[in-house]
A and B are shown apart, each in its own frame.
Chain A
């Protein structure tokens, strides 16, 4: 199948690339051997956050380079690293209150609700929604809304109030996971049972079993039904 070639501009330099490529693949096609600005190549790590424009349009657009196809007359720039403030804290020394999030990230209170963050999020997260939840002290909601964040930092790059939202959201999720989510009784109990040696004999028996017998046991094991 003949490739349909299009014109793009990388760091201002003209290149012709097949239109089927993602931005990341186009950079490589153009000859860039990437070190920064590339990671999982699957939309999970946020390393390839990129900013672009299309010739003739003044708008800045945001994307993950690994997840977005090139389009004609794209003007691309990689953001190899966007500096974002990250205070040090020890979760184990916190109590898990909403106030602590604001103590560690006091600038969250300066949000004036312009919603630029939400518009710049390649994950389509309601960023302003979770920032508001943080300001209101609703940690479970902030944790829930921000859950799909891949921490690319594009929201920070565009925020006129310079909030480091993605790090604050991570703190919320960690506080929720450690302090606010209900604990699993069955997990605690199982750890106790293992420590008391309850399963030692059963495992030792399997370890010492001749392979033929093990295979038979495996083939005939009962399987928990789906529903």
Chain B
């Protein structure tokens, strides 16, 4: 046992109630009960943590304070004088972001003959996609159908989802899986070739396709390898976009990138910018968990600072569902070194139960994520949580139950990444329960798109977590990996086609910034910060 003794004693209570819980199914909540739980305990309903936007296409809408600050921020380029008439790069399709959606978009655009440039903030593939463990949904089994998948997505999203986007997601899904297979992704299969599929929270069929518990990593490293194999795709790493370029009609014509390697270090006096002229631009910058809304820890990648939303918003793109974030119910609450990191939902899919300090179940473990997260927050607020040495509260996730239900060795076989992660801190998942608390996980909203990833800004496309609408107010497990592939592919195709139809005589300006400044002045807003954020600052602070 690696737990300190007070926790160790509490863990033995979990072991004591285990025989009783073996055949005990905690009842699912009714729709009314779920609704009440969400309103009382879900962070989205904490009014004091939200701000109302004052400028831009979403003026009047509420969003977390941390995001509002950046959306109403001042351009990093203000006061600089960048020559735009001799761009450093020229391409048909500029993809901003090198995660799953960006790489998928780049590959399809290249398939269609486009000259593609991928600009990414960190290394190619350093993205939330890499960290998705649980799986990717697709209704391809006999007892399942895209229509059943559709209903699950809508129910999970509280029926707020944009129907056309959901339809696209579920009907493109099997083809997305096949495309990944063709690229060499190793899905878990039975000897006859049929996909091994499991349940996720809120799924009515077992339609979660997995690659052990490295599903996202397996997809991402495959896409990255394929992108690198194509000479028609140029990749600029450590080059986040800091502003879009537009012409006098407001249409997108490229972007200004910041060269992180050359900028802001002891050897360089200035910031180094790269100007890219592009016939079409795809924003695939992912989410914003690193903004730590409401002080929550996050499961997100270091680069998840919502930059794409800021860029798009200043250029006039409308955002959707930016008042709802997903808190993954099971983030690590102990040990302290990995607080906020994800405990994949697959753990609950395999049979682990959630327990309070008394070793009692308090929620059906496979309710949708927002409902489970709310129930955990409730237990902790009502004093039924377990307080860790780091002075945060959590609840137990009874992983040894998996071994009892599914046979010895299941934990090591099905959850190798997690076993390894906890073993590093002396905790044996197959023998000891672990402590969890909700962690900021996903940006449900983003830039509003249509099924071809078009935004209201001409020639600007958005795909993946930076877009909003497909998941409504809550996303189901396995639908974000699906989202990045389905809409990444669609964005790549639409952008390549639109680039072909557009002349090469593009006007590169930052005129939209002037308009933005006028709006700020009109509203008497003095921006409190510069944006996009680019990277969080953890110096002299613990992450």
Q: Give A contacts to B, CB under 8 Å.
A: 1, 18, 20-22, 24-25, 28-29, 31-36, 38-45, 47, 67-69, 86, 88-92, 123-124, 143, 147-148, 150-151, 170-171, 173-178, 181-188, 190-191, 194, 199, 202-203, 206-207, 211, 214-215, 217-219, 221-224, 226
The 3 nearest A-B residue pairs measured at CB: A174-B184, A182-B193, A202-B147
Using Cβ atoms and an 8 Å threshold, which residues of chain B touch A68?
Answer: 424
Partner of B195, one of A39, A43, A186, A194: A186
**Interface status of B248 (Cβ within 8 A of chain A):** no
Q: Is the CB of B131 within 8 A of A40?
A: yes
**Interface status of B299 (Cβ within 8 A of chain A):** yes
- Cα separation A199 to B542 with both chains bound (whole Å): 51
Q: Which of B178, B225, B230, B537 has the most CB of A within 10 A?
A: B225
Q: Is the CB of B186 within 8 A of A176?
A: yes
- Contact A187:B178 (CB < 8 A) given known A47-B122, A175-B184: yes
Q: Is the CB of A194 within 8 A of B146?
A: yes
Binary flags per residue of B184-225, CB closer than 8 Å to A gives 1, else 0: 111101011111000100001110000110101110011001
Q: Is the CB of A182 within 8 A of B191?
A: yes
Using Cβ atoms and an 8 Å threshold, which residues of chain B touch A67?
Answer: 338, 421, 424
Q: Is the CB of A202 within 8 A of B145?
A: yes
Using Cβ atoms and an 8 Å threshold, which residues of chain A touch B170?
Answer: 203
Enumerate B215-248 residues with CB–CB distance to A below 8 Å: 216-218, 221-222, 225-226, 228-231, 238
Q: Is the CB of A186 within 8 A of B539?
A: no
Q: Is the CB of B140 within 8 A of A25?
A: no
- Cα separation A182 to B425 with both chains bound (whole Å): 38
Closest to B211 in A: A147
Q: Is the CB of A28 within 8 A of B142?
A: no
Enumerate B141-155 residues with CB–CB distance to A below 8 Å: 141-143, 145-148, 150-152, 154-155
Q: What is the CB-to-nearest-CB distance from A171 to chain B, in angstroms, rounded to a whole number?
A: 8
Partner of A215, one of B152, B159, B301: B159
- Cα separation A45 to B214 with both chains bound (whole Å): 11
Partner of B238, one of A36, A43, A175, A178: A36
Closest to A182 in B: B193
Binary flags per residue of B419-446, CB closer than 8 Å to A gives 1, else 0: 0110011000000000000000000000
Q: What is the CB-to-nearest-CB distance from B441 to chain A, in angstroms, rounded to a whole number?
A: 12
Closest to B337 in A: A22
Closest to B229 in A: A88
Q: Is the CB of B299 within 8 A of A42?
A: yes
Using Cβ atoms and an 8 Å threshold, which residues of chain B touch A182?
Answer: 189, 191-193
- Cα separation A148 to B195 with both chains bound (whole Å): 20
Closest to A176 in B: B186
Q: Is the CB of B174 within 8 A of A191?
A: yes
Q: Is the CB of A150 within 8 A of B217?
A: yes
Q: Is the CB of B184 within 8 A of A224?
A: no
Q: Is the CB of A186 within 8 A of B167?
A: no
- Cα separation A28 to B420 with both chains bound (whole Å): 24
Q: Give B contacts to A, CB under 8 Å.
A: 30-31, 122-123, 125-126, 128, 130-131, 139-143, 145-148, 150-152, 154-155, 159, 163-164, 167, 170-171, 174-175, 177-178, 181-187, 189, 191-195, 199, 204-206, 211-212, 214, 216-218, 221-222, 225-226, 228-231, 238, 260-261, 299, 301-302, 336-338, 341-342, 351, 389-391, 416-417, 420-421, 424-425, 535, 537-543
- Cα separation A185 to B342 with both chains bound (whole Å): 33
Q: What is the CB-to-nearest-CB distance from A61 to chain B, in angstroms, rounded to a whole number?
A: 14
Q: Is the CB of B225 within 8 A of A203?
A: no
Q: Which of B142, B192, B424 has the most CB of A within 10 A?
A: B424
Q: Is the CB of B186 within 8 A of A177?
A: yes
- Cα separation A177 to B218 with both chains bound (whole Å): 11
- Contact A89:B229 (CB < 8 A) given known A182-B193, A194-B174, A214-B154: yes
Q: Is the CB of B140 within 8 A of A91?
A: no
- Contact A223:B204 (CB < 8 A) given known A40-B131, A190-B140: yes
Partner of A123, one of B148, B260, B420: B420
15 cross-chain CB contacts under 8 A: A32-B539, A35-B122, A40-B126, A40-B302, A45-B131, A143-B186, A171-B225, A177-B186, A178-B182, A178-B184, A191-B174, A202-B145, A203-B150, A224-B206, A226-B199
- Cα separation A7 to B218 with both chains bound (whole Å): 38
Using Cβ atoms and an 8 Å threshold, which residues of chain B touch A1?
Answer: 389-391
Using Cβ atoms and an 8 Å threshold, which residues of chain A touch B141?
Answer: 186
- Contact A203:B167 (CB < 8 A) given known A28-B543, A183-B193: yes
Q: What is the CB-to-nearest-CB distance from B503 to chain A, in angstroms, rounded to a whole number?
A: 32
Q: Is the CB of A177 within 8 A of B126?
A: no
- Cα separation A63 to B346 with both chains bound (whole Å): 27
Partner of B301, one of A34, A40, A194: A40
Using Cβ atoms and an 8 Å threshold, which residues of chain A touch B218?
Answer: 147, 173
- Contact A186:B140 (CB < 8 A) given known A44-B130, A181-B186, A199-B147: yes
**Given pairs A28-B541, A148-B420, 20 additional interface contacts (CB within 8 A):** A20-B337, A24-B543, A35-B122, A42-B338, A69-B425, A151-B221, A170-B222, A174-B183, A174-B222, A182-B189, A185-B193, A187-B140, A190-B174, A203-B147, A203-B167, A206-B150, A215-B155, A223-B204, A226-B199, A226-B351
Using Cβ atoms and an 8 Å threshold, which residues of chain A touch B301?
Answer: 39-41, 45
Closest to A33 in B: B539
Partner of B184, one of A176, A183, A222: A176
Partner of B538, one of A28, A89, A178, A186: A28
Using Cβ atoms and an 8 Å threshold, which residues of chain B touch A184?
Answer: 140, 181, 189, 193-195
Q: Is the CB of A44 within 8 A of B217?
A: yes
